[in-house]
Amino acid sequence: MDKRALVFWIDVDNTLLDNDKVKKSFDEVLRVNVGEKLTRRFWELYEEIRAEKSVIDIPLTLERLRAETPQSEMDDYTYQHIHSIFEHYPYRETLYTHALDTLHHLSTLGTTVIVSDGDPVFQAEKIVNSTIADAVEGRVLLYVHKQENLQDMIQQYPADHYVMIDDKPTILDDMHHLLGSQVTTVFVKQGKYASQPLPAGFTPDISVEHIGDLLTFSKEQFLPHPTPHK
């Protein structure tokens, strides 16, 4: 058996958890509680803050919506009710089929580490409330841009070889350029990026339709194989 130490870097949104479903649910909650106009404004602020900070920040989006909306359109009770729904959303119900099983399987092959982009408060709550954090024994790293924190990722969890599992081909491409043969890129074709073109010149080492497809993979399938001498 190959004794090289493996570390799996695993994304969350649309990799382990159906974030598109979460957004749809949030949209429905907003429409019921504050109506079409404020719901539309919430998503405008959501995108504005993402452009400003390069990360999704739900708490800040809600704060800005509160600050600019008069009491006559959204009273404090309604605001606190919406905030509570967002904060206590049942994320475990939006995990993809076999997501937790896959994490447990990968943990038998190497060290599993959640590496996610997002604001440090809301994203952390999502990862804890979905039980993803428990499934990886608390090994969770949160960054604005994970590929810009590669050295920290390596320092915290050193290994002989790394496996990056993500739904965003651009991140996989970046990691491939940064680490070369030290990383195996795994493209999970879930969410909006599944149907978009791959970055020019990039082909993932492994592509799967669903995160649960990795349940059948052995350690050797994630490791690079030496090119035979001619």
Which residues face 208 on adjacent strands? 188
Q: How far is CA 182 from CA 12, 81, 213, 220, in A?
A: 22, 47, 23, 14
Q: Is the pLDDT of residue 110 over 70?
A: yes
pLDDT of residue 57: 86
pLDDT of residue 230: 43
The pLDDT > 70 percentage for the chain reads: 97
Q: How far is CA 142 from CA 34, 65, 106, 121, 225, in A?
A: 31, 25, 20, 10, 31
Average pLDDT, the chain: 92
* CB crowding 104-122: b at 16 or more within 10 Å, else e: ebbeebbbbbbbbbbbeeb
Mean per-residue pLDDT for 15-20? 93
Mean per-residue pLDDT for 20-37? 94
Contacts with 67 (C-beta within 8 Å, 6 or more apart), sequence order: none
Q: Return the CATH superfamily for domain 6-18+95-222.
A: HAD superfamily/HAD-like (3.40.50.1000)
Mean per-residue pLDDT for 91-118? 96
pTM: 0.89
SS3 content of the chain, % helix, strand, coil (to 5): 55, 15, 30
Domain ranges in the chain?
Answer: 6-18+95-222, 20-91
pLDDT of residue 55: 79
Mean per-residue pLDDT for 8-32? 94
pLDDT of residue 226: 60
pLDDT band at 1 (very low <50, low <70, confident <90, very high): low
Q: Is the pLDDT of residue 44 over 70?
A: yes
Dist. CA 87–CA 8, nearest whole Å:
28
pLDDT of residue 228: 46
Contacts with 199 (C-beta within 8 Å, 6 or more apart), sequence order: 169, 170, 173
